Structure 1
Amino acid sequence: MFNHRVRYLFDQLINVVFSIILLFIIFGIAIGTVQLFISVWKLLAFEGITGHYIDLIADVLTIYVLIELSRSLVEYFNSHRLRLTFIADAAIVFTIREVMILMFKHEVKPDMLYAFSALLLVLGAIRIGSILVYQREKTIPESSSH
Structure 2
Amino acid sequence: MRLPASNKIFDTSLSFILNVVIAYIIVVLNVGLIRTLLGMKRLFGEGDLRSAYNEAIIEILTFLVIIELFKGFVEYFKNQRISLTIMIDSALVFVIRELLVSLYTQGHTEWHLLASFGILVLCLGIVRTLAVRYSPQDAPRQG
Cα offset, 1:70, TM superposition = 1.4
Matched, 1:63 2:44: no
Q: Distance in 2 between matches of 1:78 and 1:11?
A: 13
Matched, 1:87 2:105: no
Shift of the 26–16 alpha-carbon distance from structure 1 to 2, 3 Å rule, reads same
TM-score by length of 2: 0.76
Residues 75 and 82 in structure 1, CA contact (< 8 A), matched pair in contact too: yes
Cα offset, 1:25, TM superposition = 3.8
Q: Distance in 1 between matches of 2:12 and 2:85?
A: 24
Cα-to-partner distance string for 1:101-128 (whole Å, 9 max, x where unaligned):
1111225211111111111111111111
Q: Superposition RMSD on alpha carbons, in Å?
A: 3.1
5 Å matches for 1:40-79?
Answer: 40-45=40-45, 47-79=47-79
Cα offset, 1:64, TM superposition = 1.4
Paired amino acid for 1:57: I
Q: Distance in 2 between matches of 1:17 and 1:127?
A: 30
5 Å matches for 1:1-146?
Answer: 22-45=22-45, 47-105=47-105, 106-134=107-135, 137-138=137-138, 140-141=140-141
Cα-to-partner distance string for 1:17-45 (whole Å, 9 max, x where unaligned):
76666555433322111111111121012
TM-score by length of 1: 0.74
Q: Distance in 2 between matches of 1:111 and 1:14?
A: 46
Q: Distance in 2 between matches of 1:5 and 1:120?
A: 48
| Unpaired segments ≥5 residues, structure 2 | none
Where has structure 1 moved over 4 Å in runs of 4 or more?
A: 4-24
Cα offset, 1:91, TM superposition = 0.7
Report the number of matched residues: 139
| Unpaired segments ≥5 residues, structure 1 | none
